[in-house]
Structure 1
Amino acid sequence: MVNLTTQLKDRLQSIISEAVESKRTPGLVFGVATLDGEQFFAHAGDRVFGEPSAGPIGEDSVMWICSQTKMLASIATFQLVEAGKLRLDDVAAKYLPELANPVVLDKDPQLKQPSFRQPQTEITVRHLLNHSSGLDYGHKDRICEYHLPTVYTTAHEKLDPVRRFYELRRGLYPTQLLKFEPGTSFAYSYGPDSLGFIIERITGQSLEEYYKEHIFSPLGITSASFYLTPNLKQKSVPLVFRESDGKIVPWASQVPIIVQDPEQVHLHMSGVGLYCSMKDYLTILQHLLQIRAGTAVNPILSKASLDTFFQPTLTPLGVEELNDWSGKRGHQYSTALALWTVDEPGRRRKGSAGWYGWANTEYFIDPETGVALVFGSQIVPRQDPEVMKVFEQLEEAFYRGLEA
């Protein structure tokens, strides 16, 4: 049984407090849950950077969780599979004609011009789940590598926004370009967004409606939404920006982001679009831990479906591409999450699964230890070195405290 001593809790809180008080980071939150529920939730700093009068960051503070939205698309997809409304090997174009007849872009270094060919395999739902579809993000429409793709930062039309989404992705080409043959490799992608659109077309509900009815409400989650409503905005943590000299400054649209005016949100993007408190996100992770252990009450997924979240799916080439992209060894990818195939020394154990968000939020589930951890801030660029350092310190202190 996981036991967080008072000494360990004090140590974790001191790490967060020191980082904020030294002005190395903006406000931070950190939470731990086990099968028995939330065990610890710490926070430090102002909700609005540099404005103490706006109140402190806290348990109910809402963050733009960006790519942490992706896991919800996997949960919902498997719910539809369990309901008999969808199969993992269904061709995606059956539900999304926008994905019909793509072409693989082959870049031969010996040729000045790229070549195109018809793929031998059609994109399936399974490919969308593990980023093996070839629908990569790419970098051709970004000023720098940490910018979000234009597809995400564009104000989408109210009339047929899904069509416009794929038009933006394909650019001047007549059809969708794939980085590789579907199912053969890995490239971080629009797979979860595509799954979200499929879910909407099968159910006749918006993702906002579906997620609320089938994921959030059953778990008592109230802060999660694709709309930054006035109520949520009062609790939200505004972004800040770290300049090249290391100084943290208030947000001034230094880089384009998604449309945040709820009146202008006409497309629910399950790759990047959700707002949620990290405490509520921890509730989801704790529920998944319970499903895996067979102790969940009214589980939102079967154990068989959830088990796939912890099982590797990539080809050897896909593993190589994932590890090159992440800059780390020992990673795989499941139907929902990145997997750790080896122990992270002094930190999460082999078999852990998790992901992160572009604005510096992160989470993982460690089934062997029986814990789920969340960590959050709201700072751009992504993977802020100071914020990441604090999370590493917290994780190391947490596991060291368990072993003491």
Structure 2
Amino acid sequence: MPITLNPTGKESLDKFFDTLARSGTLPAFAAGATSADAELYFKTAGKKLVNDNSSEDVNADSVFWICSMTKLVTHISALQLIEQGKLSEETPVAEILPQMKNPVLVADSVSRTPEVLGPIKTVLRVKHLLNHSSGLFYRYSPNFGIYHSDEYGSVHDPNDPHSSFFNTLKGNLPGVPLKFEPETDFAYGYSADALGFVVEKASGKTLEDYMQENIFGPLGIMASFYLTPELKEKLVPLSLRDSDGRLEALRDQPGYRIIPQDPSQVSCHLGGIGLYTSLRDYLSFLRHLLQIYSGKAENPILKLETVKSLFVPTLTEEGCNSINFITSFTSPVSASDSWSNALAVNTQDWPGRRKKNSDFWSGWAGTHYWIDPTTGVAGVFGVQLVCATSGAGDSHVVKAFDTLEETLYDGLEI
């Protein structure tokens, strides 16, 4: 019997999101849920441009910069190549990316000029990029929402974007900096971007072309690293929450830097942060994974055993401690998370919500998703917001995402 959302559940979700839209606490949003069989719920509300009643309403086709929700698509691209034998989890990264030949351990993960502790002793392999145990890391300012990233914000050399990216990351250091020996810990950082470069080298295609041919095209999804005129017309602009909690459009306020949006300046396809798509299309992508898991997929993009591996924790105890430091700000169950070969994994049930071995992650500008293969559902929620906690960590965004999930599970007929 197919999973459905009962009328009371739909009514409760509609009531919550209608109230949220009237409150003005968030900019325009989209929210949705799916089973393997069909979309269970989808709702949008708000004007594209915050505080501008003359702007268009968002709709199911509105495009979001999904930021780190890009990572799952990049990892699945790599897993496809592993299935095809064009890549191996054990492949040394330096064999594919010579820019990664001599990485160095550093004592400081914030400074641009940290103390160098020496060369690494462990061979950095593709599997370490898959589960973020590579040691590659983001440098965060004390204010998490002000994202200082020359690697992401720069226009890279179109003739050699990989070297341009790694040279920016390396700076004056003798090698690309790593926070720890590979496989010993977890660091949220540039692993997915490096993995995207690996996909490009192993496939002989740009990441854009690879994903169009092997993921987006087969699934009928409109997504791209290029903000084409068609996507730009549908784009929801970024909003800013100021220190007083007020919303305003993000224009040229100091301190906020994003990736280049002019397609002519995008030579480096950023597998960690660079995709634009609608949340309905992303939901259909998650639905396809549920279909593979449940044996219902037509023309699956991955094998069943590979999809099952997405839900298997892989981190060391130290790595789990590190990821839980990040997720503790939004997780209702403490010390319960790990990382698989593609995304975060819950290692415990969330009461009234997702089951153990569900997956999840978010995007910096305020997008979230989860996929629960045990129950057989997945969901998305998103805005376009930057603020002191990052949009994904904004308390109103977290509350809305939590309510979507809680209310959905309460109304499921299984």
Q: Same fold (TM over 0.5)?
A: yes
Deviations 1:212-235 (A, max 9, x none): 00000100112x001111111111
Q: CA deviation at 1:373?
A: 0.3
Matched, 1:294 2:292: no
Q: CA deviation at 1:57?
A: 0.8
Secondary structure of 1:363's counterpart equals: strand
The residue that corresponds to 2:342 in the other structure is: 336
The residue that corresponds to 1:163 in the other structure is: 163
Deviations 1:244-285 (A, max 9, x none): 100001112330100011111111001000000000001110
The residue that corresponds to 1:110 in the other structure is: none
Secondary structure of 1:94's counterpart equals: helix
* Letter paired with 1:320: N
Secondary structure of 2:224's counterpart equals: coil
- Moved >6 Å (runs of 4+): none
- C-alpha separation between the residues in 1 aligned to 2:142 and 2:225? 26
**CA separation of 1:314 and 1:356: change in aligned 2, threshold 3 A:** same
- For residue 355 of structure 1, the aligned residue among 349, 361, 365 is 361
Secondary structure of 1:351's counterpart equals: coil
Q: CA deviation at 1:7?
A: 2.1
Q: CA deviation at 1:119?
A: 1.7
Contact (CA 8 Å) 1:196, 1:207: kept in 2 or not? yes
Correspondence list, 1:55-70, <5 A: 55-70=56-71
- C-alpha separation between the residues in 2 aligned to 1:102 and 1:165? 14
Secondary structure of 1:310's counterpart equals: coil
Correspondence list, 1:44-83, <5 A: 44-83=45-84
Contact (CA 8 Å) 2:241, 2:248: kept in 1 or not? yes
Q: CA deviation at 1:66?
A: 0.2
Matched, 1:180 2:190: no
The residue that corresponds to 2:111 in the other structure is: none
Secondary structure of 1:53's counterpart equals: coil
Contact (CA 8 Å) 2:104, 2:174: kept in 1 or not? no
- C-alpha separation between the residues in 2 aligned to 1:24 and 1:312? 36
* Letter paired with 2:270: M
Residues 339-348 or 310-319, more deviating: 339-348
Contact (CA 8 Å) 2:6, 2:413: kept in 1 or not? no
Structure 2 unpaired stretches of 5+: 109-113, 329-333
Deviations 1:295-318 (A, max 9, x none): 110000001111111001001111
The residue that corresponds to 2:396 in the other structure is: 386
Contact (CA 8 Å) 2:65, 2:274: kept in 1 or not? yes
What RMSD in Å do the two structures reach over aligned CA positions? 1.6
The residue that corresponds to 1:236 in the other structure is: 235
The residue that corresponds to 2:217 in the other structure is: 217
Secondary structure of 2:360's counterpart equals: strand
The residue that corresponds to 1:264 in the other structure is: 265
The residue that corresponds to 2:192 in the other structure is: 192
- C-alpha separation between the residues in 1 aligned to 2:305 and 2:412? 30
Contact (CA 8 Å) 1:2, 1:369: kept in 2 or not? no
Contact (CA 8 Å) 2:77, 2:199: kept in 1 or not? yes
* Letter paired with 1:398: L
Matched, 1:204 2:216: no
Contact (CA 8 Å) 1:17, 1:45: kept in 2 or not? no
- C-alpha separation between the residues in 1 aligned to 2:260 and 2:382? 21
Structure 1 unpaired stretches of 5+: 108-112
TM-score (norm 2): 0.92
* Letter paired with 1:375: F
Percent of residue pairs bearing the same amino acid type: 44
Q: CA deviation at 1:115?
A: 5.0
Q: CA deviation at 1:200?
A: 1.0
The residue that corresponds to 1:249 in the other structure is: 248
* Letter paired with 1:391: F
* Letter paired with 2:360: G
The residue that corresponds to 2:412 in the other structure is: 402
The residue that corresponds to 1:365 in the other structure is: 371
Correspondence list, 1:119-134, <5 A: 119-134=120-135
Correspondence list, 1:271-310, <5 A: 271-310=272-311
Q: CA deviation at 1:30?
A: 0.7
Contact (CA 8 Å) 1:292, 1:306: kept in 2 or not? yes
- C-alpha separation between the residues in 2 aligned to 1:205 and 1:40? 36
Contact (CA 8 Å) 1:169, 1:176: kept in 2 or not? yes
TM-score (norm 1): 0.95
Q: CA deviation at 1:392?
A: 1.2
* Letter paired with 1:344: W
Contact (CA 8 Å) 2:193, 2:271: kept in 1 or not? yes
Q: CA deviation at 1:106?
A: 4.3
The residue that corresponds to 1:90 in the other structure is: 91
Q: CA deviation at 1:114?
A: 4.0
Secondary structure of 1:32's counterpart equals: strand
